[in-house]
Amino acid sequence: MKRDLLSLQDLTGDEIIDLLELTEQLKQDNYQLNNRLKGKTIALVFQKPSNRTRVSFEVGVFQLGGNCLYLGPTEINLGVRESTADVSKTLSRYLDGIVARTHAHQDVIDLAQHSSVPIINGLSDHYHPCQALTDIFSIKEKFGKTEGLSLAYIGDGNNVCHSLLLGCAKVGIHMRIATPPKYEPQKDIVQLAQTYAKETNTEIVITQSPQDAVTKADIIYSDVWVSMGQEKESDKRLNDFDGYQINEELAELAAKDFIFMHCLPAHRGMEVTAEIIDGEHSIVFDQAENRLHTQKAILISLLGEKP
């Protein structure tokens, strides 16, 4: 029976831990090619431009011995040139798996509903599960654990925030989210995360105070204030997010050995200062590298045989 990864609702806490362990194995493999996906072809169906997601998946599939096919917006315009259902049914006849990077999360759901091969959400407007799994692996890599740590997320309650909420709650990381009014994460996703948090004795706090969120935090996490597709809102968002920048003054409130994380791309001088993102506490490029290893673990779990 095929399995999809549309959001971290699709994985139990134990399955996330298993993925982290597999990721560690793959990272220690010294980039040696292997045949876990030999003879298999994965398509990247992308409706948005990409740097890390596209390159890490293409390289990962290659390192696992498979073939990768990129289908950008000019090749497939989901729901416009052809219905999402028809695209999914057709591609299923050719492929062994699909990584979808879409605008609407419903497109990912529709692809999975009509596909006979696994669908991996490479980003949608609601979730970014591959990024969150990478982030959790990066945290465990730096601290040697996840349980009991606290993560302060400062900024827009967006798709990355949603996936971190679900993932952190499942592995025991406390999460404090500071957003301006009307930029909070979706209430239904917060409520779902709180059900997971009860099982792991984890705390979730939503606040408008970056200072309250960052105080004694082990991890400070930031993302862009203006995401792809929100350019028309740029002036308003920059005004609304005034006071939510991660800078040295704010970071002084965090734990002494805190780490700074950002899923990239970043705008220095906007959501974070250069001193922080390029400083000794930053692990943003470790995060970027770990997309490769984590996504290889995801591909093997859904499409190949575990080592």
Give 10-residue mean pLDDT values along the chain (307 residues).
Answer: 96 96 88 82 94 96 95 86 93 98 96 98 97 98 98 98 98 98 97 98 98 98 84 87 98 98 96 98 98 96 76
Q: Which is the catalytic residue, given 105, 110, 130, 131?
A: 131
**Residue 263 is among the residues annotated as catalytic for this protein:** yes
Domain that holds residue 79: 8-128+289-303
Same domain? For 54 and 79 the reply is: yes
Residue 158, domain member (yes or no): yes
pLDDT of residue 305: 65
Domains identified in the chain, total number: 2
Backbone region of residue 58 per phi and psi (left: phi > 0; alpha: psi in -120 to 50; beta: other values)? alpha
Q: Which is the catalytic residue, given 36, 114, 126, 128?
A: 128
Same domain? For 123 and 172 the reply is: no
Residue 1, domain member (yes or no): no
Q: Which is the catalytic residue, given 263, 287, 293, 295?
A: 263
Residue 2, domain member (yes or no): no
pTM more than 0.85:
yes
Q: Looking at the chain, how many residues does it have?
A: 307
**Residue 291 is among the residues annotated as catalytic for this protein:** yes
pLDDT of residue 85: 95
Q: Which is the catalytic residue, given 223, 237, 262, 295?
A: 223
Residue 174, domain member (yes or no): yes
CA distance 111 to 287: 28
Same domain? For 206 and 277 the reply is: yes
**Residue 281 is among the residues annotated as catalytic for this protein:** no
Residue 3, domain member (yes or no): no
pLDDT of residue 1: 83
**Residue 161 is among the residues annotated as catalytic for this protein:** no
pLDDT of residue 210: 98
**Residue 128 is among the residues annotated as catalytic for this protein:** yes
